[in-house]
Structure 1
């Protein structure tokens, strides 16, 4: 597909999805939302892709919603606003449920809806010059559609503060509250992401996919007989899988597993 708001590249098992509206600080509109949803859906289905990096061109990662798009939404009916918000919600869910591991490479400021993009990814690496802000309440709005992912990422207490104050916070604070996994100097950003991606693509593709699913489905569950049975069933199933058998065999035989060929 000929993307208008993104660039897509696949190199050595890694797909890069790059927000490409630098003149607008990579703010998104309905077209960018549709393209992001399509890109992550399609890349998630490609066997040759083992990891996806979400990045951005220009000084800002994502400033949230495009002002022209917001002006248009101001004239929408309730039903039109509901449909529009659902498209954004569906896009974020597509990223969150993508079967491939996803890494957000945050090189610059990340505001409002942009934080939803970051929080929906599995791993977040930020430049130490990046700033973050949940600015919606300054405009009389709330960060509703991004909230499931942002609250999971930063926790209830941090979300309670930053949702209602709209304070800007730096990358070190993002790491402290759990939104970012790594914070590095700008010149180290590419190498840090490359190192994480290298780890991802050497692991069993099926095990990585199932491990992502495991976290989503176990978190918050009571430790009871049902959960114990579920987790025991998961390990039994993956032990008997083709990659599970191959992984153990290659370890015992001191050779590379076939998924590295």
Structure 2
């Protein structure tokens, strides 16, 4: 049974396996961000993060576009804001991105169409991104006299300094194939039907992983890039704790007994 909750700018569905699908639902403006969407996406991410019944989260866009980034009409209204008001607003956007980046569950980007500017930033905070080949992406802020400042920490962590600098300074659009080559997208499909199949397969693979193990594993890439002395001091303790945890012991037992682990939904045990 699927449970659905509606918000002003989002639809959220959670199925009986604990798979939550967040759909940005402003198709009339290509799912562009405004203050309402930013606030709702932040609060939904925070709620899903603490819901033990939710195992996997899928983020997508309603209609033919994933997200066109910030709503330019909304941004235009900020011309009369003070610097402090503009900084506070930008911090709210970062709070949304950070809540998705820190989500202790697999976050799958279902990129059903173009993902521009902040929309590209949203793909950068997803753990796994599946996109249709016809999608265009772009860090286009510079052509508007702006810069991709708030999304840059996430984009650079995803694609590296070299690709980020090249794309930041041109502001050019690029196709999904290029996004795949630089690591922003992990899988390409031909159309929306194939997208649904690929996302469903990715969800099934994520559901076979232990929930606590996933939450810990998501922190490791950033930890691994920390100072080497810090990283190598902390990582032995992490694996030591997981080995003796109830989840770790259950996973090892399931392997030797050739059965699904207790956290695998019955519908995915085959």
Q: Counterpart in 2 of 1:236?
A: 240
Structure 1: how far apart are the matches of 2:188 and 2:260? Answer: 32
Cα shift readout 1:102-121 (whole Å, capped 9, x = no counterpart): 00010111111111111011
Structure 2: how far apart are the matches of 1:216 and 1:156? Answer: 15
Structure 2: how far apart are the matches of 1:100 and 1:227? Answer: 22
Contact 2:225-2:231 at 8 Å conserved across structures: no
Aligned-residue CA RMSD in angstroms? 1.2
Instruction: Report 1:165-244 matches (<5 A).
Output: 165-186=170-191, 187-222=193-228, 224=229, 226-244=230-248
Q: Counterpart in 1 of 2:136?
A: 131
Cα shift readout 1:153-188 (whole Å, capped 9, x = no counterpart): 121111111101011100000011111111111131
Report the alpha carbon displacement of residue 228 of structure 1 after superposing the two structures with TM: 2.7
1:22 to 27, 32, 36: 27
2:95 to 90, 95, 98: 90
Q: TM-score, normalised by structure 2?
A: 0.93
Query: For 1:74, what is the secondary structure of its paired residue?
Result: helix
Whether 1:77 and 2:59 are equivalent positions in the alignment is no
Whether 1:59 and 2:64 are equivalent positions in the alignment is yes
Unaligned runs of 5+ in 2: 266-270
Query: For 1:33, what is the secondary structure of its paired residue?
Result: helix
Cα shift readout 1:180-233 (whole Å, capped 9, x = no counterpart): 1111111311110110110001111111111111222222442x4x43332111
Query: For 1:255, what is the secondary structure of its paired residue?
Result: coil
Contact 1:171-1:183 at 8 Å conserved across structures: yes
2:158 to 153, 167, 192: 153
Cα shift readout 1:26-52 (whole Å, capped 9, x = no counterpart): 001000000000111101111111100
Structure 1: how far apart are the matches of 2:9 and 2:205? Answer: 29
Cα shift readout 1:81-120 (whole Å, capped 9, x = no counterpart): 0000000011100000001110001011111111111101
Q: TM-score, normalised by structure 1?
A: 0.96
Unaligned runs of 5+ in 1: none
Q: Counterpart in 1 of 2:268?
A: none
Report the alpha carbon displacement of residue 55 of structure 1 after superposing the two structures with TM: 0.5
Structure 1: how far apart are the matches of 2:187 and 2:83? Answer: 40
